[in-house]
Amino acid sequence: MAAYGLYSYIQSNKRRSIALLFGLFVLVYVMVFAGALLAEALTVNAPVDYLLRAAEFDFIKALPFATVGALVWIVIAYFFHQSMIDAVTGAAPVTRAQEPRLWNILENLCISRGIAMPTLRVAEDDALNAYSTGLSEKQYSITVLRGLMNALDDAELEAVLGHELTHMRNGDVQMMVVAVVIAGVISFFGELIFRLFFQASFYGGGFRRRGGGDGDRKGGAGLVIIIALVLIAVAWILSIVIQMALSRQREYLADAGSVELTKNPDAMISALRKIEGRGEITRATSAVMEMCIDNPREEFANVFDTHPSVDDRIAALIKFAGGYDPGPLAIEPPREEAPAEAAPPEGGPWGEPAAQPDAQQGPWGPEPAPSPKDEGPWGPKPR
């Protein structure tokens, strides 16, 4: 019954996530309409109803172009998102020969559960973090940072890999990549519109007047500008809230899925305690950090955090899966092994064979030891 409950919860979360993604896509159109409002208000001084109708007409004309543009953006992300993320984090694919420990842990976990093994990548960064990417099974990839590999033991590392595999099984990876792409479109349009507006306002000489321009008309243009700016701000804030809603719930489910795969809640809990506060990837963008197992970046006093706190995640694990919380954990720096002392070279300075301890030295080097046949009844025969 518990397994059925978890499965139902995952399916419900997928339905909610699809609805949120649809809402995120609608925000692109809101941004386009706001741009049309600004364009009309900066071009014509007219009553509000006239400007709204003109903006609606412009929006209908721009609708196909906005849709195609957003879809092209998603197609580009489908083929190139991995290379773009790798360029930001410095990750590169590895083989079994290069990283046997990490490879074997992931392979054993995939084989035991009948999961196709994703591409394995390692980023040379001291941060304690990992993330998964890909929009299809052939593209699935798990990236682990070097700092995480050095700090976690095998059981904890297996728990983190199980967490990322769960994201793939639940379809979280595709949703987050698409969400990040659409949010990028919204941010791009928002910044573009703001830049065009301020340039037109401060460097373009103000409004371009058409059709007279009494006080009512001037006031109408100003009000429409305010409406457009409010729409842009609301669309931007809602895009952040939608990403937060997608991220927060999926982390709880991925933690639970990791315990289901590994049967080891203690390992997941101790891994989270070690990762806590140590996952900052300095050169990564906020979009990349949203896909990591932990995002330590705080936004507006945790209101817009994309990840639940480690304490909340551990509390959920203990409540539903059991386990022991050791509390905050210190991490010992990796031990540096002393270099092995070189063995003294055998032989002489020119590489000749070393003299045997019992060999007699002659004028031209060591003389051969006497053989048993040279022995007489009273000792070695004289030479």
Positions annotated as catalytic residues are 164
Beta strand 379-380 pairing with 130-133: unpaired
If you write DSSP's letter for every residue of 336-373 in order, what string do you get? PPPPPPPPPPSS-TTSPPPPPTTPEEETTEEEPPPPGG
Report the alpha-carbon distance of residue 272 to residue 159 in Å, rounded: 10
3-state secondary structure of 16: helix
3-state secondary structure 201-234: HHHCCCCCCCCCCCHHHHHHHHHHHHHHHHHHHH
Report the first-to-last Cα separation within the chain, whole angstroms. Answer: 97
If you write DSSP's letter for every residue of 225-260 in order, what string do you get? HHHHHHHHHHHHHHHHHHHHHHHHHHHHHHHHHHHH
* Residue 371 contacts residue 379 (beta carbons within 8 Å): no
Closest among 278, 66, 17 to 172, alpha carbons compared: 17
Report the alpha-carbon distance of residue 149 to residue 125 in Å, rounded: 10
Query: In the 8-state DSSP scheme, what is residue 304?
Result: T
